[in-house]
């Protein structure tokens, strides 16, 4: 962060190459795997009906990012309950839509995927361009996005991780990424969903099974123009590797961004 434009120097664990390589712009064997370029987006923020990112909110997220990348902890794990048996980042994404209408399912999934791609592109700009504070254009799906690892029928539920260029952020700066994802979700005013984000500490381990939808939400609200109270908590989580959980509940469903404590991650070496 001290030398904007120098390029990302974050290490990508080899166990996560299978996810990072899924981005078409991040091919196996390329040295720039951990150095995604600044992205061209699919459309400007104003064309998507987004509220501007408040400069104060942006400054707080930038402080969290500086703390995380000062000594990257590479949060990743290989949960035994995942059928694939592959390692995944220590940030997992859970989504539930209570209806069975295809439109609602598609809209919620797309909104969440878009929020992740916009947040990752914004983090890149924060790192590479110290003066940038607004929303970046979301990176294209060819570069990265959400990757579904499990799903349930009935009321629509899915469990996802990330792929492509997002892997480096989910492992090295998961608190910053989740913070911006939730703010990007809140900023998309022309959407069908409602609900507020709440954040709380998370103490679960990979051995406990997947994150539990419907469990108690975080105890402090977080959102656009509501970032001041949680900044110290997030800075501590970034520095010490603590777990956090961002929860958005509404009448139509739930979104949960779960960051596992770094000390509790379990990965068996190949």
pLDDT tens sequence across 109-124: 898 999 999 999 999 8
Find the range with the poorest average confidence among 91-105, 111-125, 213-227, 252-266: 213-227
Q: Which residue has the tokens 């069975």?
A: 100
* CB neighbour burial string for 121-160, b if at least 16 within 10 angstroms, e if fewer: bbbbbbbbeeebbebbbbbbbebbbbbebbeeeeebbbbb
Q: Predicted confidence band at 56 (pLDDT cuts at 50, 70, 90)?
A: confident
User: What's the whole-number mean pLDDT along residues 60-75?
Assistant: 84
Helix, strand, coil percentages (3-state) for the chain, rounded to 5, are 35, 20, 45
Share of the chain above pLDDT 70, in %: 72
**Closest of 53, 76, 86, 243 to residue 170, by C-alpha:** 76
What is the mean pLDDT of the segment spanning 139-164? 86
User: Among 14-18, 20-24, 208-212, 259-263, where is mean pLDDT lowest?
Assistant: 20-24
């Amino acid at each position: 962060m001290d030398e904007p434009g120098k390029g990302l120097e974050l290490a990508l664990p080899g166990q996560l190459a299978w996810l990072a390589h899924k981005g078409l712009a991040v091919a196996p064997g390329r040295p720039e795997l951990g150095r995604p370029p600044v992205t061209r987006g699919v459309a400007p923020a104003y064309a998507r009906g987004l509220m501007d990112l408040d400069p104060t909110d942006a400054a707080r997220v930038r402080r969290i990012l500086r703390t995380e990348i000062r000594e990257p902890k590479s949060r990743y794990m290989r949960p035994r309950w995942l059928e694939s048996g592959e390692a995944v980042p220590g940030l997992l994404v859970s989504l539930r839509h209570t209806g069975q209408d295809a439109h609602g399912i598609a809209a919620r999934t797309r909104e969440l995927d878009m929020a992740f791609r916009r947040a990752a592109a914004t983090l890149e700009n924060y790192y590479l361009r110290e003066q940038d504070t607004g929303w970046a254009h979301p990176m294209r799906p060819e570069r990265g996005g959400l990757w579904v690892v499990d799903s349930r029928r009935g009321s629509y539920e899915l469990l996802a991780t990330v792929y492509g260029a997002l892997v480096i952020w989910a492992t090295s700066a998961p608190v910053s990424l989740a913070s911006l994802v939730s703010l990007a979700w809140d900023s998309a005013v022309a959407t069908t969903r409602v609900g507020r984000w709440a954040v709380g500490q998370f103490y679960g381990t990979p051995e406990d099974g997947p994150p539990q939808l419907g469990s108690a939400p975080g105890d402090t609200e977080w959102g656009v123009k509501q970032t001041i109270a949680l900044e110290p908590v997030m800075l501590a989580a970034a520095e010490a590797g603590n777990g956090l959980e961002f929860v958005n509940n509404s009448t139509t469903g739930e979104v949960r961004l779960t960051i596992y404590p770094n000390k509790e991650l379990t990965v068996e070496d190949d």
